[in-house]
A and B are shown apart, each in its own frame.
Chain A
Amino acid sequence: MAEPLLEATCIHTYYGVSHILHGVDFRIGKGEAVGLMGRNGMGKTTLIRSMLGHVRPRQGKVCLRGEDVTESAPHRIARLGVAYVPEGRGIFPNLTVKENLLMAAREGVDGRREWTYQRVLETFPRLAERLDHGGGQLSGGEQQMLTIGRALLTNPDLLILDEATEGLAPLIARDIWRIIGDIRGSGIATVIVDKNYAAVMDLADRCVVMIKGTVVFDDASDKLTGEIVQKYLGV
Chain B
Amino acid sequence: MFIPRAGTRGQAPLLIPHNRDSEETRPMDTAFFFIQLLNGLQYGLLLFLVACGLTLIFGIMGIINLAHGSFYMIGAYIAWSLASMTGNLALAILLGIPLTVLLGMLLEWLLFRYLYARDHLYQVLMTYGLILVFEELRSLVWGDDVHGVAVPALLAGSIPLTDNLSYPIYRLAISVICLVLAGGLYWLIQKTRLGMMIRAGSTNREMVQALGINIKLLYTLIFALGVALAAFAGMIAAPVSSVYPNMGAQVLIICFVVVVIGGIGSVWGALLASVLIGLTDTFGKVLLPEYAGVSTYLLMALVLLWRPEGLFKRI
**A75-B215, A102-B193, A103-B193 as given contacts; A92 in contact with B200, CB under 8 Å:** yes
B314: Cβ under 8 A from any A Cβ:
yes
B214 & A75 in contact (Cβ 8 Å cutoff): yes
Chain B residues within 8 Å of A78, by CB: 209-212
Chain B residues within 8 Å of A86, by CB: 206-207, 210
A151 to B212, CA, bound (A): 10
A94: Cβ under 8 A from any B Cβ:
yes
Chain A: interface secondary structure? loop
Using CB atoms, name the residue of chain A closest to B210. A84
B54: Cβ under 8 A from any A Cβ:
no
**A95-B199, A102-B193 as given contacts; A54 in contact with B211, CB under 8 Å:** no
- Residue-wise interface mask of A (83-107) relative to B, using a CB-CB cutoff of 8 A (1 in contact, 0 not): 1101000101111000110111010
How many B residues are at the interface, by size bracket? 20 to 34
A92 & B199 in contact (Cβ 8 Å cutoff): yes
- Contact residue among B199, B206, B213 (Cβ-Cβ distance under 8 Å from A104): B213
B202 & A154 in contact (Cβ 8 Å cutoff): no
Chain B residues within 8 Å of A104, by CB: 211-213
**A103-B193, A103-B197 as given contacts; A54 in contact with B206, CB under 8 Å:** yes
A29: Cβ under 8 A from any B Cβ:
no
- Contact residue among B200, B202, B203, B206 (Cβ-Cβ distance under 8 Å from A74): B206
A75 to B211, CA, bound (A): 7
B199 & A79 in contact (Cβ 8 Å cutoff): no
A54 & B212 in contact (Cβ 8 Å cutoff): no
The number of residues on chain A lying at the interface, defined by a beta carbon within 8 Å of a beta carbon of chain B, is 25
A79 to B197, CA, bound (A): 16
Chain B: interface secondary structure? helix
Using CB atoms, name the residue of chain A closest to B198. A103
A84 to B209, CA, bound (A): 10
Smallest CB–CB gap between A23 and chain B, Å? 25
A216: Cβ under 8 A from any B Cβ:
no
Chain A residues within 8 Å of B213, by CB: 75, 104
A150: Cβ under 8 A from any B Cβ:
yes
Smallest CB–CB gap between B266 and chain A, Å? 10
A75 to B197, CA, bound (A): 13
A73: Cβ under 8 A from any B Cβ:
yes
A93 & B203 in contact (Cβ 8 Å cutoff): yes
Among B202, B203, B315, find the residue whose CB has the most chain A CB atoms closer than 10 A.
B203
**A99-B196, A102-B196 as given contacts; A94 in contact with B315, CB under 8 Å:** yes
- Residue-wise interface mask of A (69-83) relative to B, using a CB-CB cutoff of 8 A (1 in contact, 0 not): 000011100110001
B204: Cβ under 8 A from any A Cβ:
yes
Q: Which residues of B contact A (CB under 8 A)?
A: 193, 196-197, 199-200, 202-204, 206-207, 209-216, 314-315
User: A103-B193, A104-B212 given. 18 additional CB < 8 A pairs?
Assistant: A54-B210, A74-B206, A74-B209, A74-B210, A75-B209, A75-B210, A75-B212, A75-B213, A78-B212, A83-B211, A92-B207, A95-B199, A100-B200, A103-B196, A103-B197, A103-B211, A104-B211, A154-B211
Nearest first, the 5 A-B pairs at minimum CB distance are: A78-B212, A104-B211, A90-B207, A103-B196, A74-B209
